[in-house]
């Protein structure tokens, strides 16, 4: 099976990009230019009507989007990666919990931080939402750092899974915060664990990114 992954550098495509590299399969990575708004082009909207990245093409033409779903789909399809615990595995429940939590709670708050204009009108309201999102994410980072301290070093304990790539990606998006995710000791360790994996390092290099640690 061959794949195409549409991405914008540094976007929600970071984690699935790393999982796809780790799967070691034939894949084409198609970069969209955010400056040119290519994610809103007529052609791209036929693949992803929301005009967002990532989008994955698989099985010669099937299309799926949503970053967390793509990570899980690929990790499960390629069990040799060990990036997702199989059905019946002790870590399965926690893995699903973290994939859902990361995408619907901190990721959503990061959307409010980066794209307040999608949520409210007016510069003053947007600035308030941006600040509130950073404040809420601070509490989430406290919580996650404590979880990792008690049960880590990774989200599900000893094994590194796709949810850990996902968290490393979200931490990068907090790099401009007064207190960014990577400044918390256990979140910092998790970022380092992601960086130590050749697939994550390759993804950053391909996308021209640096991950602050």
The residues that touch ligand GSH, with contacts defined as CB under 6 A, are 8, 11-12, 39, 51-54, 65-67, 103
Shortest distance (Å) from residue 8 CB to ligand GSH: 6
Angle at 136 between CA 134 and CA 138, to 5 degrees: 70
Shortest distance (Å) from residue 112 CB to ligand GSH: 11
Decide: helix, strand or coil at residue 154: strand
Strand-pairing partners, residue 27, are 3
Strand-pairing partners, residue 57, are 4, 63
Shortest distance (Å) from residue 141 CB to ligand GSH: 18
**Toward ligand GSH, which CB reaches closer, 152 or 200?**
200
**Toward ligand GSH, which CB reaches closer, 68 or 186?**
68
How many CA atoms, within 13 angstroms, populate the side-chain half-sphere of residue 56? Answer: 26
* CA distance linking residue 180 with residue 154, whole number of Å: 19
Contact 56, 3 (CB under 8 A): yes
**Toward ligand GSH, which CB reaches closer, 118 or 143?**
118
User: In the chain, how many H helices and how many E strands?
Assistant: 9, 4
Shortest distance (Å) from residue 103 CB to ligand GSH: 6
**Toward ligand GSH, which CB reaches closer, 29 or 149?**
29
**Toward ligand GSH, which CB reaches closer, 8 or 20?**
8
**Toward ligand GSH, which CB reaches closer, 53 or 109?**
53
The residue sitting closest to ligand GSH, measured at its beta carbon, is 52
Angle at 128 between CA 127 and CA 131, to 5 degrees: 85
Residue with tokens 């390092």: 201
Shortest distance (Å) from residue 135 CB to ligand GSH: 21
Shortest distance (Å) from residue 132 CB to ligand GSH: 19
Q: Which two structure tokens, joined as six digits, stand for 180?
A: 């960014």
């Amino acid at each position: 099976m061959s794949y195409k992954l549409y991405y914008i550098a540094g976007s929600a495509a970071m984690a699935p990009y790393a999982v796809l590299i780790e799967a070691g399969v034939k894949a084409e990575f198609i970069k969209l230019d955010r400056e040119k708004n290519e994610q809103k082009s007529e052609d791209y909207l036929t693949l992803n009507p929301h005009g967002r990245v990532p989008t994955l093409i698989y099985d010669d033409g099937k299309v799926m989007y949503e970053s967390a779903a793509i990570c899980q789909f690929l990790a499960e399809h390629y069990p040799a990666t060990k990036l997702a615990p199989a059905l019946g595995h002790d870590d399965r429940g926690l893995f699903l919990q973290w994939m859902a939590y990361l995408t619907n709670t901190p990721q959503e708050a990061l959307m409010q931080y980066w794209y307040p204009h999608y949520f409210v009108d007016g510069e003053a309201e947007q600035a308030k939402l941006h600040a509130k999102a950073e404040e809420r994410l601070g509490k989430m980072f406290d919580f996650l750092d404590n979880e990792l301290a008690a049960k880590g070093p990774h989200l599900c304990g000893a094994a590194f899974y796709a949810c850990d790539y996902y968290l490393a990606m979200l931490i990068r998006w907090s790099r401009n915060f007064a207190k960014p995710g990577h400044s918390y000791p256990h979140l910092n360790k998790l970022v380092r664990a992601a960086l130590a994996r050749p697939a994550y390092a390759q993804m950053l290099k391909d996308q021209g990114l640096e991950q602050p640690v």
